[in-house]
């Protein structure tokens, strides 16, 4: 269940994981971090969908968040799943998840129930591939039948209480140290998928659990999702998962029933992908380069008369201070009150600024077309091509 303490392969990733995650979190104004968190949750949902074989276009996710759903049934169902995924991750990111330790049976059940509760009843069914029978998904409850996932045969359903009890005993907060818990995040991810406690939704639960576990260990934030790098190296991700499913390979391969070597290899891959994603987001969010990309984009929009001059000064203030007081916009733009209101209206209409009320300060927002310019390579060039 837990990688051997003597494995130095995992130690090499811990220092950059902790140091660079903390550096990324401290780079931005807290209010701006919250705004970027909305964008990252949508991105994480997109890549989690991709791992499940669903290439939901980022614009369709944006529309769903605005309660604008497709009339095409399959696309609408994927949009609803996206909204549910983002809802649960927002609860985690804002500290509104349970106090239970993320790597636990209780937390896994909560994740599954919280996700499924956002879906209409007609979506809580799966089709048995052998019989064609519709099987009901009960939110938060362990499966009541045996299943097969590709070549993997998870534990029989009657063994799930014992399997999840073992999961709790291995990964509960004590007695593992914080560094050992960080080493073990990949193992938690694999072992939950190996147990496959739910009839459907295990992949989403495992990825959300990993996100919550990193956050509880004070490494994860709303600024980076590991799902992006897992999806970008999906073939290796799934191959290493399958390799860790294998039985023990001789006396030197750990002491349990499953391969220790395979578990360590997957855990290292998981930590490697996490560090890589932190570095990718650090490069995108470095304030000076971010402002340069925003300025170049806004200059084009001003020349095309889609935005007013002075728009960049307002956005720069939002980047540096997290938000912009409306009373400061005339000073920032050099316009009278009326001209400043035109600048503000243009930015709000384009979705670059958002506000709770017409008097509240303005904060940055990131609709998909803007995100593609300000944060290059956030999504693949052919995003949504499978639909």
Catalytic residues: 196
- 63 labelled as ligand-binding? no
- 203 labelled as ligand-binding? yes
Residue 311 CB partners (closer than 8 Å, separation 6+):
298, 301, 302, 333, 343, 346, 347, 352
Largest Cα–Cα separation, the chain: 79
Q: Which CA distances in Å does 355 have to 68, 91, 163, 344, 361?
A: 20, 21, 47, 11, 6
The continuous run of DSSP H or E covering 126 comes out as strand 125-127
CA distance 43 to 45: 5
The residue count for the chain: 387
- 293 labelled as ligand-binding? no
- 108 labelled as ligand-binding? no
- 149 labelled as ligand-binding? yes
- 279 labelled as ligand-binding? no
Residue 3 CB partners (closer than 8 Å, separation 6+):
10, 183, 184, 187, 260, 263, 264, 267
Neighbours of 251 (CB within 10 A): 7
Q: Which two tokens stand for residue 221?
A: 């934030």
- 188 labelled as ligand-binding? no
Direct distance between the N- and C-terminal alpha carbons of the chain, in angstroms, rounded to an integer: 38
- 57 labelled as ligand-binding? no
- 277 labelled as ligand-binding? no
With beta carbons less than 8 A apart as the criterion, state whether 151 and 242 touch: yes
Residue 159 CB partners (closer than 8 Å, separation 6+):
none
- 200 labelled as ligand-binding? yes
Phi, psi of 44 (to 5 degrees): -60, -40
**Which residues participate in the annotated binding site for ATP?**
149-152, 200-207
**Which residues participate in the annotated binding site?**
149-152, 200-207
């Amino acid at each position: 269940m837990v990688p051997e303490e003597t494995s130095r392969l995992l130690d090499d990733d811990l220092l950059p994981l902790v140091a660079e995650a903390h550096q990324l979190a401290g780079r931005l104004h807290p209010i701006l971090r919250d705004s970027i968190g909305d964008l990252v949750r949508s991105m994480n949902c997109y890549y989690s969908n991709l791992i499940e074989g669903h290439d939901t276009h980022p614009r369709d996710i944006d529309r769903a968040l605005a309660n604008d759903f497709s009339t095409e049934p399959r696309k609408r169902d994927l949009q609803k799943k996206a909204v549910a995924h983002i809802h649960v991750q927002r609860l985690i990111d804002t500290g509104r998840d349970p106090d239970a330790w993320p790597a636990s049976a209780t937390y896994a059940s909560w994740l599954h129930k919280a996700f499924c509760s956002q879906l209409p009843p007609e979506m809580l069914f799966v089709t048995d591939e052998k019989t064609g029978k519709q099987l009901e998904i009960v939110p938060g409850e362990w499966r009541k039948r045996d299943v097969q996932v590709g070549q993997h045969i998870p534990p029989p359903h009657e063994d799930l209480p014992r399997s999840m009890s073992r999961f709790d005993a291995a990964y509960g907060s004590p007695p593992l140290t914080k560094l050992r818990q960080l080493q073990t995040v990949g193992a938690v991810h694999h072992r939950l998928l190996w147990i496959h406690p739910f009839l459907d939704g295990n992949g989403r639960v495992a990825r959300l659990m990993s996100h919550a576990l990193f956050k509880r260990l004070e490494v994860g934030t709303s600024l980076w999702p590991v799902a992006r790098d897992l999806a970008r190296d999906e073939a290796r991700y799934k191959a290493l998962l399958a390799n860790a499913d294998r039985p023990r390979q001789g006396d030197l391969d750990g002491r349990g029933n499953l391969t220790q070597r395979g578990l360590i290899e997957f855990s290292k891959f998981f930590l490697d992908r996490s560090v890589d994603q932190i570095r990718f987001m650090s490069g995108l969010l470095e304030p000076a380069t971010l402002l340069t990309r925003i300025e170049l984009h806004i200059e084009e929009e001003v020349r095309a008369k889609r935005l007013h001059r002075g728009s960049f000064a307002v956005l720069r203030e939002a980047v540096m201070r997290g938000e912009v007081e409306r009373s400061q916009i005339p000073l920032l733009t050099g316009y009278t009150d009326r001209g400043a209101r035109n600048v503000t209206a243009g930015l709000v209409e384009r979705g670059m600024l958002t506000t709770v009320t017409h008097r509240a300060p303005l904060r940055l927002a990131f609709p998909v077309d803007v995100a593609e310019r300000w944060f290059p390579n956030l999504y693949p060039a052919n995003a949504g091509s499978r639909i």
